[in-house]
Structure 1
Amino acid sequence: MTKKKQVRNKGLLPQLEKEGTLDKEIVLSTREKLGVPVGSRLFSHHTLASYRKLSFYHPFDLPQDSLDIILSATYNHSIESFPDKVDVNLQPDTVGCETWRKLRNTLDKTPPASIPMGHTMRRGGITERRSPFSVKLMNSGVHSSQTNPGYSRQPAGGAIFFY
Structure 2
Amino acid sequence: MKSQFTQVRNKKLLPDLRKEGVLDKDIVLTTKEKHGCPWGSRLFSHHTLASVRKLSFFHPFHVPQDSLDIVLAATYNHSTERFADCEDLYLQPETHGCDTWRRMRNTYDKAPPVFIPLGHPMKRGGIKERRSPHSVKLMNSGVHSSQTNPGYSRQAAGGAIFFY
Q: TM-score range by the shorter chain?
A: 0.5 to 0.7
- Measured at CA, do residues 81 and 60 of structure 1 come closer, stay the same or move farther in structure 2, by a change above 3 Å? same
Q: How does 1:133-152 map to 2 (within 5 A)?
A: none
TM-score relative to the length of structure 2 = 0.67
**How far apart are the structure 2 equivalents of 1:23 and 1:11?**
20
The answer to whether the 8 Å contact 1:2/1:110 transfers is no
**How far apart are the structure 2 equivalents of 1:92 and 1:114?**
28
Q: Partner of 1:49 in structure 2?
A: 50
Aligned sequence identity (%)? 64
Q: Partner of 1:97 in structure 2?
A: 98
**How many residue pairs are counted as aligned between the two chains?**
121
The answer to whether the 8 Å contact 2:4/2:111 transfers is yes
- Measured at CA, do residues 6 and 35 of structure 1 come closer, stay the same or move farther in structure 2, by a change above 3 Å? same
Q: Partner of 1:79 in structure 2?
A: 80
**How far apart are the structure 2 equivalents of 1:93 and 1:38?**
34
Larger radius of gyration: 2
The answer to whether the 8 Å contact 1:8/1:105 transfers is yes
Runs of 4+ in 1 over 4 A off after TM superposition: none
Q: Which runs of 5+ in 2 are unaligned?
A: 125-164
Q: Which runs of 5+ in 1 are unaligned?
A: 122-163
**How far apart are the structure 2 equivalents of 1:21 and 1:2?**
23
